[in-house]
Structure 1
Amino acid sequence: MTGWDCIHGQLGPFWSHRQSFVSGHHTSVRTELVRCPSGSSLAEAKRYKRRRKMKHIPYLAAAGLVGALMLATPVVAQAASPTRAMPAHSSVTPANTGSSTDTAADISRQDRIFLRKAHQGNLAEIKAGRLALRKGRCEAVRHVAHVLIEDHSRMDIELRSLADRFDVRLPKTPSTAQLRQLAKVAALTGREFDVAWLQLQAAWHRETIELIRKELSRGRSPEVKALARKAAPVIKHHLRLIDEATEHCCR
Structure 2
Amino acid sequence: MYTTRSRARFATLCATTLCVTGALSLPALASAPSSPSVVSTLDKQFLTAAHQGNLWEITTGKQAQSAATTACVKRAGADFVRDHRVLDAGVAKTANKLGVALPSGQTAAQLRQTAALKSLAGKPAYDAAWLKAQHGAHVQTLALIDKEIASGGNPDVKSLARSARPVVARHARMVEHGTCHA
CA contact (8 A) 2:55 2:105 kept: yes
User: Does the C-alpha gap of structure 1 residues 171 and 140 become closer, same or farther in structure 2, counting only changes over 3 Å?
Assistant: same
Partner of 2:156: 223
Q: Say which is worse superposed, 137-146 or 178-187, in terms of deviation.
A: 178-187
User: Does the C-alpha gap of structure 1 residues 229 and 177 become closer, same or farther in structure 2, counting only changes over 3 Å?
Assistant: same
TM-score (norm 1): 0.59
1:29-86: CA deviation from partner (whole Å, max 9, x where unpaired): xxxxxxxxxxxxxxxxxxxxxxxxxxxxxxxxxxxxxxxxxxxxxxxxxxxxxxxxx6
Partner of 1:212: 145
Residue pairs, 1:1-251, within 5 angstroms? 88-89=19-20, 91=22, 94-95=29-30, 99=34, 102-103=35-36, 106-189=38-121, 190-243=123-176, 246=179
Size of the aligned set, in residue pairs, is 161
In structure 2, what is the Cα distance between the partners aligned to 1:181 and 1:241?
Answer: 20
* Identity between Structure 1 and Structure 2 (%): 35
Normalized per residue, which structure has more helix? Answer: 2
Q: CA RMSD in A?
A: 2.2
1:222-249: CA deviation from partner (whole Å, max 9, x where unpaired): 0000000000000001111113871579
SS of equivalent residue, structure 1 residue 89? helix
TM-score (norm 2): 0.81
Normalized per residue, which structure has more strand? Answer: 1
Structure index of larger Rg: 1
Gaps of 5+ in 1: 1-85
Gaps of 5+ in 2: 1-15
1:169-217: CA deviation from partner (whole Å, max 9, x where unpaired): 1011111111111211111142100000000000000110011011112
Runs of 4+ in 1 over 6 A off after TM superposition: none
CA contact (8 A) 1:137 1:194 kept: yes
CA contact (8 A) 2:60 2:114 kept: yes
